[in-house]
Amino acid sequence: MFPRETIPAGPVTLRPPAESDADAIARACADPETQRFIPVLPRPYTREHAVGYITGIAEEGWRAGGAEFVMADPDSGEAQGVIGLKPADRFGNVEVGYWVAPWVRGKGVATAALRAVTGWAFDHGAPRVHLVAEMENVGSQKVALGAGFRHEGLSRGAGPIPGGGRADMALFGRLPGDSGEPIRPFLPFLPPGGLTDGVVTLTMLTGDDAPAYQLVASLPDVVKYRVPPEAPPFEETLYRCRGAAYRWLVGIQAEMAIRDAATGAYAGDIQLSHLTPPMREAMVGYSLHSDFRGRGLVTRAVQLLAEWAFTKTSMRRLISGTNPDNLASQAVLERAGFTRGQTQKEYLPGPGGTWTDNVEWLRLR
């Protein structure tokens, strides 16, 4: 049981909801982004739903052993968001959920409220606090990391998508013994507009890139060197592109579109994968549409990426691998400052159940 208290939380004060909050809650919960990422909200969301939340759902939450707070402006008392702790599950774990009104986003309100309510839950005996955020809800994931929650994995098909279907949910948790310090992503996001040398621009892959990515990934001479050597189904490509920001934020992989800087046209993709933080190593891979070949674009892309990795992350070893027949890719790596290493026998899955050799490449910081 949590006590009904008021909790100071930096830019906001957390207090139990009151009927006077109904208008602000109704206005905020009608916001499309709130509706998208909190699929249990009724739609359209009306003032009656807000009153039902305040007098029914929130009251029931408190009675059942949870806690429901409005994030209130300390001066005006106006509701700026909601944060709630569900009643503990059978192992004592407490799940937290929140939203912030669109008109106060980006000011650190959610992060401050999450940090405060989590500390308060620990003070009242919670052994663990966790939250789930849809894979594409990078804003909420940043809030979790900012409040010292560790990324713990991705639960497949764990949440409903408004309108039908299921979404993968990222899980973040904090234990009382964790420092609670903000967790800085291992891979910082690219600057606005991406990385550019004036000829090539690298931008984080997004769902909008999926058709162009699919086109490149299906070219016969790209398929030949893919692992495994098959064109991906489009659903896989769409999922990859939509989840790129999540994987980037939690330090799994950095996936980028290679664009013609002059026109912004999608030319191909480049990524840092197989991150091994203790060795501060990552693997570079890329593919380019045939229309853009022969202009040195991939070499520039690899150079830009290496420059970024060596100056903006703690990476000190970039590795790559090529099929021994792939002379074009070997020329790219050589021009981008990589040195050729050993040939690994029967390393890569080839066509028809065969195995092909792999040439190792390395560029040190």
Closest residue to ligand COA, judged by C-beta, is: 139
User: Which C-beta is closer to ligand COA: that of 57 or that of 319?
Assistant: 57
In angstroms, what is the minimal distance from the CB of 154 to ligand COA? Answer: 14
Read off the tokens for 14: 């957390």
> What number of CA atoms fall less than 13 Å from residue 113's CA on the CB side?
32
Least distance CB 269 / ligand COA (angstroms): 22
Minimum Å distance from CB 40 to ligand COA? Answer: 10
Minimum Å distance from CB 189 to ligand COA?
8
225 or 248, CB closer to ligand COA? 248
Work out the burial of residue 316: count CB atoms within 10 Å of its CB; fewer than 13 is exposed, 13-18 middle, 19 or more buried. middle
Indicate the residue among 139 and 180 with the shorter CB distance to ligand COA: 139
| Encoded tokens for 164 | 């039908």
Write down the least CB distance from residue 231 to ligand COA, Å.
Answer: 31
The full DSSP string for 12-78 is EEEE---GGGHHHHHHHHTSHHHHHH-TTS-SS--HHHHHHIIIIIHHHHHHTT-EEEEEE-TTT--
Residues that bind ligand COA (CB under 6 A): 33-34, 37-38, 98-100, 105-111, 133, 137-140, 142-143, 146
* Nearest-approach distance from CB 76 to ligand COA, in angstroms: 17
How far is residue 322's CA from residue 283's CA, in Å, rounded to a whole number?
11
Cβ atoms 166, 158 nearer than 8 A: yes
Nearer Cβ to ligand COA (146/243): 146
Closer to ligand COA by Cβ: residue 143 or 305: 143
| DSSP string over 337-353 | T-EEEEEEEEEEE-GGG
Look-up of token digits 């590795």:
319
Output 139 or 251, the one with its CB closest to ligand COA. 139
